[in-house]
Structure 1
Amino acid sequence: MFWLGFSLGLLVGLALLVGYRVWLELKLKNLLPDLKSDTLRATRSSLSRLLWAIAFQQETCRDLENQVERWKQLLYLAPIGYIQVDEENQLCWCNQQACQLLGIQAPAAARPRLLLEIVRSYELDELIEVTRDAQKPCQREWTFQPTCADPTNLSQQQAIALRGIGIPLTRGEVGVFLENCQEVLILSQQRDRAFSDVAHELKTPLTSIRLVAETLQSRLDPPLRNWVDRLLNEAIRLSDLVQVLLDLSQLEREAGSCLNLKNVNLPELIQSSWLSLEPLARKKQVELDYGGPSKLLIQADEPRLYRVLLNLLDNSIKYSPSGASIQLRVSLEPHPQAPPESTQQWVHLEAIDSGSGFPENAIPHVFERFYRAEPSRSRRYPHPSASSRPDNRSPASDLHPSYGSGLGLAIVRQIIEAHRGTVSASNHPDTGGAWLQVWLPWQPSNLTIDR
């Protein structure tokens, strides 16, 4: 009986062993159907193939780890800052340049901390949140003030201009590239200061030349008087150019503090600016096609907004063919760059002409000072007399570079940004002409709109 029981147990054990081996072989065959290595396919044993696959995967993992380490080393030594946070906004990793820009130390892997505890920059924190919500690269510029633990060194801590580009990563992580724009800002300020200084120096002699020319104008007879008229027109042109440069400098220095805000009826202001340009429009047989409400009150600086409208309309008149119409559209819409949950309405002003439009390579530069996309933009128009100016306002030739100075759209952008708005330029898909879009903030609490 003992041997019988022993034999039966042995047979059962062998049967289980064979069954397990068959089951294991089937599982291995299911796990290894897609192996493409010739070495592994030449191996008959499934177990051997699995061991080869494990070794191959380990080698691949080591190669990937080496590549990640090399890329991390390059990123660490890169001349641009980089930080990476997890889904809870804890700082995971940053490179050497980011540590210098933000005035922090590299985080310890064992003790992750919230980014806002290490870097007191709510703009950076907001950029990370916007990037995570949008799931696309986002960009923002701001002035960063480094914190200092030693109160005796507060005077040595200088604010720097930063540009951040957020990139969404996997598992809710976000990477941010940080660029130091302080040198560019300093060069821009030096350039603007030079323009302002030159404009101030030119203002007095130009005024003297203008006064002398006006005095001689009434004392000379033709043909000598024609030369004085030309001299006076050129002096007026240069004086207007100097005034535009001074206005730009003032807007940059004082931003919104130099604005005298009050309730302004935008459609009425548009009509007034078009009447000022009517002689130019009549000469080219160009008409205004206005679309929008008959009354729309906004908070704005009326003279400066009037200048914006003059520059936009004058720009459209110059580039529209004879007999064409200029489309001017006004509406209330959400800003295209606003968060989806935002309910704020913006005044959307569109100026569309039927001309040849902007060259594609010129669109990013049309709002830069003294930039002209093509020589035809410098053609001149007769200077209207002072008596034809309604409400003692300057005509477009006084405000916009009708003489080809390239400052018209530059001052448009400066005034709109001072109103905390935005302006963009492109070519309209239907007309093919220039498409200038202005967005101004609108508060409905004490303002009205009539359709």
Structure 2
Amino acid sequence: MLLLGFFLGLAVGIGFWVWQQVQLNRYLGRIVRPLTSHSYKMGLLLTPGLWQEIEMVKQKQQDLHQSLQSYQDLLNFAPVGYLQVDEENQLLWCNQQAQQILYLQRWQPGQVRLLMELVRSYELDHLIEQTRDWQKSQVREWVFHPTYDNAEEISTIKSLTLRASSLPLPNGQVGVFLENRQPLLDINQARDRSFSDLAHELRTPLTSIRLVVETLQNRLEPPLNRWVNRLMQEVDRLISLVQSWLELTQMEANPSTQLQAKAVEVRSLIASVWETLEPLVQRQNLSLAYSGPENLWIKADPARIYQVFLNLLDNSIKYSPSGTSIYVQAKILSPNNRGNAAPEVLEINLIDSGVGFSEADLPHVFERFYRGDKARTHSPPDNNSIGAIVGNGLGLAIVQQILLAHGGSIKAMNHPETGGAWMQIQFPEVMANSLSQDL
């Protein structure tokens, strides 16, 4: 009886549990059935819109791919090189011009390789890093020495002067436009050689013509000698032009050998130049305003530096209104002022109150024979003008070359206060005794 009661109770418990599971499943079925039906109906309603969105996305993707392909085709036919690197300086893409300029024969479209593996150029790598760090476009010009795998062809490859313009792109990428400036430089060098050869050929006949004119001056009486005097002025002007061109060519070819460096006291030299220009100064009632240390010694060629200040002060006098001042400001830039460990530099600013330079002329004022704004062009030579010999279109070009030969620099600007021309000169060879004498 006890065993029968146990099995009877077990059967009743199992039946009750089964009944509960059936009831629970029925209840869940009643709840889920309306929701599933609704969701299915909603899915049917949303499916056409979803497919439409998918088609639109696919179409946009195709349009973007076509645009990208069009841009790549344009860049491939562009006359300048272009390359693009990712955040790790891996070359992603470059056009045909960049492959030719940088000798990227080892790179194939679709490859992703480090740029430094393909192009051994520190300048290009530094330009890219600087662009990425500063997030600003950069421009740099340098001489590129290509490398080549085939040793037999190394002798046929020559160095190129390149100019690169970079721009930052999203996700750390950088794009670089490359311009091969070597053909232009070769043309300029060929032109300069032609002019130098012509100048050499002209010097002898011009000297002969001058001797003939000198003979006529002594034999002709007034008023006929007036024409001979004018002829002498023009011959001297041509001789000066030829000599200036030859000097400029020699300084460019051998800058260091053309200098005889000595200790030069700048303040006294400027005063000597001003005395030479005294006739022009008195005619226009001009004055020289100097500010800075009295004893400034530099290591330079006295004759060449004299020529620099003679040309610059003569130009300032020509374009200064009567009764104004020409300002000469001198100061020594210490390493602390320039934020580096470089030696001290003497900076001299020459400022006049004339019309200044036009914005279009400023980048070209040191070019040979450049003629820009008529307000800043030289007037016809005057008998009493010291600058009549200088004003041949080569004056500022010679000034720049002299300073470059000394390791210095010159910059042309317009002064914000006077509105006139502002020439800023820097000499790196400041002698130590300049400071001791000043103290």
Indicate the larger mover: 182-191 or 294-303: 294-303
SS in structure 2 at match of 1:153: helix
Equivalent residue letter for 2:235: A
Q: Distance in 2 between matches of 1:78 and 1:314?
A: 47
Residues 309-364 of structure 1: CA distance to partner in whole angstroms, max 9, x if unpaired?
Answer: 222111111111111111222334599xx9x9645464433222211222333333
Q: Is the 8 A contact 1:104 1:119 kept in 2?
A: yes
- Alignment correspondent of 2:230: 230
- Alignment correspondent of 1:435: 422
- Alignment correspondent of 2:77: 77
Give runs of aligned pairs for residues 362-441 of structure 1, distance below 5 A. 362-375=361-374, 377-380=377-380, 382-383=382-383, 396-398=387-389, 400-401=390-391, 405-441=392-428
Q: Alpha-carbon deviation of 1:443?
A: 6.6
- Alignment correspondent of 1:275: 275
SS in structure 1 at match of 2:66: helix
1:352 is aligned to 2:351:
yes
Aligned counterpart for 1:4 among listed residues 13, 17, 20: 20
SS in structure 2 at match of 1:371: coil
Q: Is the 8 A contact 1:92 1:107 kept in 2?
A: no
SS in structure 1 at match of 2:87: coil
From the superposition, tell whether residues 229 and 60 of structure 1 become closer, same or farther in structure 2 (CA, over 3 Å): same
- Alignment correspondent of 1:191: 191
From the superposition, tell whether residues 52 and 196 of structure 1 become closer, same or farther in structure 2 (CA, over 3 Å): same
Give runs of aligned pairs for residues 237-248 of structure 1, distance below 5 A. 237-248=237-248
Q: Distance in 1 between matches of 2:126 and 2:432?
A: 28
Q: Is the 8 A contact 2:267 2:294 kept in 1?
A: yes
Equivalent residue letter for 1:358: F
SS in structure 2 at match of 1:358: coil
Q: Alpha-carbon deviation of 1:196?
A: 1.0
Q: Is the 8 A contact 2:102 2:146 kept in 1?
A: yes
1:251 is aligned to 2:238:
no
Q: Distance in 1 between matches of 2:289 and 2:259?
A: 30
Q: Distance in 2 between matches of 1:198 and 1:326?
A: 38
Q: Alpha-carbon deviation of 1:227?
A: 4.3
Q: Distance in 2 between matches of 1:254 and 1:379?
A: 33
Q: Alpha-carbon deviation of 1:71?
A: 0.7
Q: Distance in 1 between matches of 2:281 and 2:161?
A: 44
1:320 is aligned to 2:320:
yes
Q: Distance in 2 between matches of 1:133 and 1:118?
A: 22
Q: Is the 8 A contact 1:320 1:355 kept in 2?
A: yes
From the superposition, tell whether residues 56 and 213 of structure 1 become closer, same or farther in structure 2 (CA, over 3 Å): same
Q: Alpha-carbon deviation of 1:284?
A: 0.8
Residues 414-446 of structure 1: CA distance to partner in whole angstroms, max 9, x if unpaired?
Answer: 223334444333322222222233344467878
SS in structure 2 at match of 1:378: coil
Q: Alpha-carbon deviation of 1:303?
A: 2.4
Q: Distance in 1 between matches of 2:431 and 2:22?
A: 96
**What is the TM-score normalised by the length of structure 1?**
0.79
Q: Alpha-carbon deviation of 1:97?
A: 0.8
Q: Percent identity?
A: 46
Gaps of 5+ in 2: 1-16
Gaps of 5+ in 1: 24-42, 386-394
Q: Is the 8 A contact 1:90 1:114 kept in 2?
A: yes
Q: Is the 8 A contact 2:366 2:397 kept in 1?
A: yes
From the superposition, tell whether residues 21 and 292 of structure 1 become closer, same or farther in structure 2 (CA, over 3 Å): farther
Q: Is the 8 A contact 1:95 1:106 kept in 2?
A: no
From the superposition, tell whether residues 53 and 429 of structure 1 become closer, same or farther in structure 2 (CA, over 3 Å): farther
Q: Distance in 1 between matches of 2:404 and 2:84?
A: 32
Q: Distance in 1 between matches of 2:44 and 2:333?
A: 70
From the superposition, tell whether residues 2 and 132 of structure 1 become closer, same or farther in structure 2 (CA, over 3 Å): same
Q: Distance in 2 between matches of 1:68 and 1:358?
A: 44
Give runs of aligned pairs for residues 321-336 of structure 1, distance below 5 A. 321-333=321-333
Give runs of aligned pairs for residues 14-413 of structure 1, distance below 5 A. 52-105=52-105, 107-108=107-108, 112-214=112-214, 217=217, 222-223=222-223, 225-333=225-333, 342-344=340-342, 346-375=345-374, 377-380=377-380, 382-383=382-383, 396-398=387-389, 400-401=390-391, 405-413=392-400
- Alignment correspondent of 1:34: none
Q: Distance in 1 between matches of 2:211 and 2:113?
A: 69
From the superposition, tell whether residues 103 and 260 of structure 1 become closer, same or farther in structure 2 (CA, over 3 Å): farther
SS in structure 1 at match of 2:207: helix
Residues 29-82 of structure 1: CA distance to partner in whole angstroms, max 9, x if unpaired?
Answer: xxxxxxxxxxxxxx9966765554444334323322221122122212322111
Q: Distance in 1 between matches of 2:187 and 2:215?
A: 42
Q: Distance in 2 between matches of 1:445 and 1:47?
A: 86
Indicate the larger mover: 56-65 or 194-203: 56-65
**What is the TM-score normalised by the length of structure 2?**
0.81
Bigger radius of gyration, 1 or 2? 2
Q: Distance in 2 between matches of 1:419 and 1:10?
A: 102
- Alignment correspondent of 1:390: none
Q: Is the 8 A contact 1:93 1:107 kept in 2?
A: no
Indicate the larger mover: 237-246 or 158-167: 158-167
Q: Is the 8 A contact 1:99 1:106 kept in 2?
A: no
Equivalent residue letter for 1:131: T
Q: Alpha-carbon deviation of 1:246?
A: 0.6
SS in structure 2 at match of 1:295: coil
SS in structure 1 at match of 2:92: strand
RMSD, matched Cα: 3.7
Q: Is the 8 A contact 2:267 2:296 kept in 1?
A: yes
From the superposition, tell whether residues 66 and 445 of structure 1 become closer, same or farther in structure 2 (CA, over 3 Å): farther
Q: Is the 8 A contact 1:290 1:328 kept in 2?
A: yes
Q: Alpha-carbon deviation of 1:96?
A: 0.8
Equivalent residue letter for 1:434: A
Residues 103-155 of structure 1: CA distance to partner in whole angstroms, max 9, x if unpaired?
Answer: 11263577643323322222322332333343322222222232233333332
Equivalent residue letter for 1:115: L
From the superposition, tell whether residues 240 and 180 of structure 1 become closer, same or farther in structure 2 (CA, over 3 Å): same
Q: Alpha-carbon deviation of 1:190?
A: 1.8
Q: Distance in 1 between matches of 2:27 and 2:425?
A: 89
SS in structure 1 at match of 2:131: helix
Q: Alpha-carbon deviation of 1:286?
A: 1.3
